[in-house]
Structure 1
Amino acid sequence: MDPIPGSRFRGTWKYVRAAVFIGFFLAIFAFAALGSFVLFAKIEGAPPVAVPQTTIFYADDGSKIGESDHGQKRYWVRLKDMSPHVIEATIAVEDRKFYEHHGFDLKRIAAAIIANIQAMAKVEGASTITQQYARNLFLTHEKTWSRKIQEALYTIRLEANYSKDQILEGYLNTIYYGHGAYGIEAAARYYFGKHASELTLSEAAMLAGIPKGPYYYSPFVNEQRAKVRQKIVLTSMVEAGYISRKEAEQAYLDKLVYVRHRQQEQPIAPYFQDVVKQQLRTKLGLDERTIELGGLRVYTTLDRRLQRIAEEQIDRIIDPHSAIQAALVAMDPRTGEVKALVGGRNYEESPFNRAVQAERQPGSTFKPFLYYAAIEQGFTPSTQLRSELTTFTFNGGRSSYTPHNYNDYYANGPITLAQALAVSDNVFAVKTLQFIGADKLVETAKALGITSKLRAVPSLALGTSPVKVIDMVAAYSTLANYGKQTEPVFIKKVVDANGNVLYEHKPESRQVLDRDAAFVTTHLMTGMFDPKLNGYTTVTGQSIADEITRPYAGKSGTTKTDSWMIGFAPQLVAGVWTGYDRGETMDRPAERQYAKQIWVHFMEQSLSGEPKQSFKPTKGVIGVYIDPQNGKLATDACPVKRKTYYLIGTEPTDYCTDHLEKKKKKKEDGKSWFEKWFPWF
């Protein structure tokens, strides 16, 4: 062998030295770059990992009534609340060395590069779970060098600031499983109707295979393709040592039961949920994104049973071919909690909420406010005014108004306030307003929570100023609660995605009416169901009196375009409105009975099984038996007696004498001829 010439050796050594020198500096540069990345990751700190999550709404019993998803369903569950099969299947098929690398699997990257070069196409990917999580959280899926660099930086930040379990938990809660389901919990519910913690090995393997191609590998799109992918996942689990081959074969053969054939869930109380969302905006100050995608847990006051009864009665009673609309609100007068709300007959056809948005003429349902104000001004249930066709002048005599009773029936004589409310005498109401002043009625209505603009004119006594159903029901609730006002409550508690309580309702009330006068008014309102108050016409609740089984107070109201019924028992108040959206007149007699029929059946079914409570008199009132026709104290001669309540000191002192002569004559007629001729005997 010829020795290497010295000159050639020196030249070769020169190149070796240069290579070592360059390699040394490249290594230093690489370590410096890596150190810079790590330092950058630490300085930048933990990146935020909050992702959009579905907000869920619950009824008062804790059951779910709806959720906001906008086509996307997202839930966050802890790693410990996921089936172990899900975790193992995901790691096996997506990133087998997840717990070993620091965000990048260099061997896998090299293998992917070689495979792609050999195939002259991208046939294999090398993204780790951390990289995919970074991409899902912060980046788009565009294939550019800029995006790749950003993805690497986010990956380093995740690995430097979060544990492997935290990264895996985040990944499993954000990965897309197709059909609008983001995260394993949403996927488990969507495909199998169960929680992520309940998934079997077979189900977990099926779901773990979907993210590679959410549409392509969806069992709802092509089950055969999905089964092929499931087999790959199971094989990967065997190779990773998570399961045996026998377990894999059995899991592949297990029949999967999907829930894809179920009908789309109908939203529960959609009008009610709309009000809840509005209150989240206005009362809690939450923005739209937080409400829709903040992962909130909103606990409401809705009673699902009462809501179902309300919807069923509206559907049953109103002619299905009629264009008449309806609204119903039910509240607990003691707490203000809204238990049921219907804003229309079909939410899909018309989401306009007639219970809280529409303003309609309340008709005679406004009269209890008038008579409460009158009682405060010295009127009593026995106060008499003449019921006869009357023309009233106002505006200094420049304007006139002639109210009419239903069917133009009048007593053409005096009637009591108690009877006037029971039979809904319009002339009596306007005369009362003339005595107390329209401004006093406006003041009373506003104190009761009526938010609509009210015109201080004579016809206000008959409810000609449009109002909202929710306001009217809340006002009646205040009367039922002895003048103590509680605002309508829709939300009990709001919890954020991390379990922090953002809002919790604290019961508040204030006395806005005199307790005693409120009770007297309430008792007057029981008269609409009592035939003892029949006079020149029947009481307005006569048509439903036979269907009630417990004490109620209420008032109906009818205009040409609107029909109302609002009433309450001590534990529940409900109001019903029916009418046409465009204000067409209700000409058929049956249409005018819809509100009453819906109300009485709703109340009776809702309170079925509840104790029958009466209205408990307050300390400042006294109950006496009167003759309902003249309002005087009843005697044994009076054929009809009715117990009526008064503010102490305002009760009648005169006894009825109208029937004494008749009783004496009747007694005389009953004597024998011997008794008549020999009275001394």
Structure 2
Amino acid sequence: MEVITDQRLKQTWRWLRLFMRLALIFSIFMVLFLFSIFLYAKIQGPPTLLVPQTTVFYASDGSVVGESEHGGQNRYWVPLKDISPNVIDATIAIEDKRFYDHYGFDFKRIIAAGLADIKAMSKVQGASTITQQYARNLFLEHDKTWTRKIQEALYAIRLELNYTKEEILEGYLNTIYYGHGAYGIEAAADYYFDKHAKDLTLGEAAMLAGIPKGPSYYSPKVHFERAKDRQETILDVMAATNKASGERTFKAKHERIILAKPEEDKIESLGPYFLDEVKKSLVNRLNLDQRFIEAGGLKVYTTLDPHMQKTAEKWVGRIIHEDSDIQTALTAMDPKTGEVKALVGGRDYEKSEFNRATMAKRAPGSTFKAFLYYAAIENGFTPSTPVRSEPTTFRYNDGKSEYSPHNYGNAYAYGDITLAQALALSDNIVAVKTHLFLEENTLVNTAKRFGIKSPLAKIPSLALGTKPVRMIEMTGAYSMFANGGKSVEPHYITKVVDREGNVIYEWKKEAEQVLDPDAAFVTTQMMTGVFDESLNDYARVTGSGVDHLLSRQVAGKTGSTPNDSWMIGFTPQLTASVWVGYDEGKPLNETNDGLYAKNIWAHFIEEALEGQPKKKFKPTKNVIAVNVNPDNGKLATENCPVTRKTYYIKGTEPHEYCDEHSNKQPKAAEKEKKEKKGFIDRIFDWFK
């Protein structure tokens, strides 16, 4: 018996030693395995936390005017301090009670989940921690393969080793899916409650915390009762784990939940043509990748003025008949900074995304004369310079070619008119004469100084705007009149901030003095004559018909070709351009189509600046103002029936007095004066 017992003891001891050796080897292997995993995680360093985030576009007043679109998903990143504590407590209570105690894996929960699954003979309970779920979100893959699970585990370890619990929690709350395309707590708060995450109540936070378990099943917008039951379960857990007092959870259960209305679910973008230009600028100026723009979580601060943009769209819609297939474009710009404040690239973005304000090239017509008359003033002409207006055939190219322009309606003065009057009446003959006198290259070079980059030709008809240009070029060029001759570059973005809050771009450009400020001011004053009926002669000033709509000092120029109608004008605060025409180049109907541009412009400029000071153009130091007879440009006398205050560069002002009315007999003059008086004035005179 003793021999058998000894043998059994020896055999048992051998098996025990073998087991201990295997256990030791296994332990060493596990230690080495775990050490290698931790070493790998440490060597790999912190994992990249970049996940797709919605890029948001802001207007100049800070309001949101658009968002990037990527698969119908909305993603916003907010720091943990901007997330309501109610959300944090509710999420930890239901998702990971021991979040602050484990190192990425909750082994107690894993064992409990395993036992529950064995008991039910199916997977009924999850054991993933917040860290593991965040790791899964970073992959953006939820396939149930061993490879993915291993990668997820490695990511979880890397997260725990390289980030604080607060950073992990922030990442999780910003990436978890809450249904309906909303990723992250900020997107969820906005979608379900039209709130920011920092403003969520305990009841709202608990309801949102319940959604990730089944985004469609527990969506309060689809199954409110289910969502409410889930919310109350979470509130009970919060009370049981001391995340919230019983009194608070009781109140939260009875809190009235108000969901966002359907129309608030989606931000309606303002100025779609404008936003297209913003995105182009991000690519061309900042060299950003298109995918990064769409999903980089950028904050793009734009120059768009919502009031002006709405005003522009309003008047385009009101002035042009709905059933017309004519097209239009409008740009408005701050002349001092070059900030584009409003932009309409067509009548309907959904029908045509082609931006006629920035992409189309159209003949500017007589709006090009502004550059010509600036060049004339700079080269010794004055507003009083007389030029003969009559049908004329011009010979050029060493006499080999002829050009015979015509005035609108074939109306002419058949005599001399002043340069100021020629601009206001848009006399083509005077323009071409002036152009050829200065030589063709002068206008080409002057237009380039104004920032016109489109190709131009040294031909007589250039004075009449026959070479196509872009509207945005013309708006920038006219802004140089308004700002006193300084360079200006149209732009759409003031600042871009990345998802971490770093400013990666900010508009900074110093303006340079490009034009002669005195000549620019004198030309500006000449352009105010477009709306001044005192300059009427053989025709009415081209701004007539809308001058009564204007309550502030403006300067500008109309322009027309058989296929295009333009109005470009400015105040000291704003430059605006309007073009009207057909995409196919169909001729305009002069009776109706030709009036659209002026009317849109006048209504827009008035309403856009509503409430702003009615500023006047400030004279430069080297100019002088005198009263002249607008018919001949000579100094006005008391006998002149019409006078106009006109500015000149000092030394070029007229010194000769008007003598056309000096022979009037006093009685005749008095009679004329009486005839001009109104009925009420004459009654008062009778009683004197």
Q: Deviations over 1:81-114 (max 9, x none)?
A: 2222211221222222222221112232233333
What is the match of residue 555 of structure 2? 553
SS at match of 2:545: helix
Residue 100 of structure 2 corresponds to which residue in structure 1?
99
| Mapping for residues 424-503 of structure 1, pairs under 5 Å | 424-503=426-505
**Deviation per CA, 1:110-143, whole angstroms, max 9, x where unpaired?**
3333333444433222211111111111352122
Partner residue in 1 for 2:17: 17
Residues 73 and 181 of structure 2 are in contact (CA less than 8 Å); yes or no, is this contact kept in structure 1?
yes
Partner of 2:201: 200
| Greater CA drift, 204-213 or 532-541 | 204-213
> Which residue matches 1:221?
222
What one-letter code is carried by the residue in structure 1 that aligns with 2:88?
A: I
Q: Report which stretch shifted further, 254-263 or 86-95.
A: 254-263
Q: 2:111 maps to what in 1?
A: 110
Match of 2:213 in 1: 212
SS in 2 for 1:87: helix
Q: Any conservation in 2 of the 1:139–1:147 contact (CA below 8 Å)?
A: no
- Looking at structure 1, the residues matched to 211 and 140 of structure 2 have their Cα atoms a distance apart, in angstroms, of 21
- Distance in 2, matches of 1:13 and 1:504, equals 78
Distance 1:228 1:665, change over 3 A: closer
Cα distance per residue 1:243-284 (max 9 Å; x no partner): 456654553443321114225432122222222222222222
Matching residue of 1:136: 137
Kept after mapping to 2: 8 A contact 1:53/1:74: yes
1:353 aligns with 2:358: no
- Within the candidate set 572, 579, 603, 1:570 is matched to 572
What residue number does 2:42 align with? 42
Counterpart residue type for residue 342 of structure 2: A
SS in structure 1 of the partner of residue 388 of structure 2: strand
Give how far 1:2 is off.
Answer: 9.4
Normalising by structure 2, we get a TM-score of 0.93
In the TM superposition, residue 485 of structure 1 has moved relative to its aligned partner by 1.6
User: In 2, are the aligned partners of 1:139 and 1:151 still within 8 Å (CA)?
Assistant: no
Structure 1 residue 669, shift from structure 2 partner: 10
The residue identity in structure 1 corresponding to 2:549 is: E
- Percent same amino acid among aligned pairs? 60
Q: 1:451 to 1:223 in 2, by over 3 A?
A: same
Given candidates 364, 367, 375, the residue that maps to 2:366 is 364
Give the conservation status (yes or no) of the 8 Å contact 2:66–2:268: no
Q: Which residue of 2 aligns with 1:64?
A: 64
Tell me how far 1:539 sits from its aligned partner: 0.7
Which residue in the other structure is 2:297 paired with? 295
Q: Write the deviation string for residues 462-518 of structure 1: whole angstroms up to 9, x where unpaired.
A: 111111111111111101112112212322222222222222223411111111111
Conserved in 1, the CA contact under 8 Å of 2:531 and 2:547? yes
User: Which secondary structure does the structure 2 equivalent of 1:366 belong to?
Assistant: helix
1:673 aligns to what?
none
CA distance in 1, matches of 2:163, 2:140: 19
The residue identity in structure 1 corresponding to 2:210 is G
Could you tell me which residue of structure 2 aligns to residue 5 of structure 1? 5
Tell me by how many angstroms 1:219 deviates: 2.2
Partner of 1:398: 400
Question: Using a 3 Å threshold, how does the CA distance of structure 1 residues 668 and 346 change in structure 2: closer, same or farther?
Answer: closer
Aligned residue pairs, count: 670
**Change beyond 3 A, Cα 1:127–1:568:** same
User: What is the match of residue 149 of structure 1?
Assistant: 150
**Structure 1 spans left out of the alignment, 5+ residues:** 671-681
500-509 or 531-540: bigger deviation: 500-509
TM-score by length of 1: 0.94
Structure 1 window deviating more from structure 2 (575-584 vs 179-188): it is 575-584
Q: Deviations over 1:425-466 (max 9, x none)?
A: 111111111111222111111110112112222111111111
Please show how residues 251-270 of structure 1 align to structure 2 within 5 Å: 251-262=252-263, 264-270=266-272
Instruction: Report the CA distance between 1:662 and its aligned residue.
Output: 3.7
Structure 2: gaps (5+ residues): 673-688
Moved more, 23-32 or 242-251: 242-251
Q: Distance in 1 between matches of 2:383 and 2:311?
A: 35
Structure 1 CA distance for aligned equivalents of residues 669 and 56 of structure 2: 74
Name 2:681's counterpart in structure 1: none
- Looking at structure 2, the residues matched to 75 and 197 of structure 1 have their Cα atoms a distance apart, in angstroms, of 13
Task: Give 1:232 shift.
Answer: 3.5
SS for the counterpart of 1:62 is coil
**In structure 1, what is the equivalent of residue 646 of structure 2?**
644
Distance change >3 Å, CA 49–CA 669, structure 1 → 2 = closer
Which residue in 2 is equivalent to 1:675?
Answer: none
CA distance in 2: counterparts of 1:578 and 1:668, whole angstroms: 48
Residue among 508, 515, 518 paired with 1:516? 518
Give the counterpart letter for 1:335 in structure 2. Answer: T
Distance 1:382 1:140, change over 3 A: same
Per-residue deviation, 1:60: 1.9
Given candidates 373, 376, 390, the residue that maps to 2:375 is 373
Contact 1:45–1:161, Cα closer than 8 Å, also in 2 = yes
State the alpha-carbon separation in 1 of the partners of residues 257 and 615 from structure 2.
54
Q: Secondary structure at the match of 1:136?
A: helix
Q: Does 1:167 align with 2:168?
A: yes
Counterpart Cα distance in 2 of 1:467 and 1:498: 41
Moved more, 510-519 or 328-337: 328-337
Q: How far did residue 619 of structure 1 move?
A: 2.2
Q: Secondary structure at the match of 2:494?
A: strand
Question: Matched residue of 1:622: which SS?
Answer: strand
Aligned AA for 2:26?
Answer: L
Amino acid in structure 1 at the alignment position of 2:101:
E
Q: Distance in 2 between matches of 1:314 and 1:496?
A: 36
RMSD of aligned alpha carbons: 2.2
* SS across alignment from 2:171: helix
Q: Secondary structure at the match of 2:39?
A: helix
State the alpha-carbon separation in 1 of the partners of residues 666 and 137 from structure 2: 97
CA distance in 2, matches of 1:101, 1:622: 82
2:653 partner amino acid: E
Q: How far is 1:184 from its partner?
A: 0.7
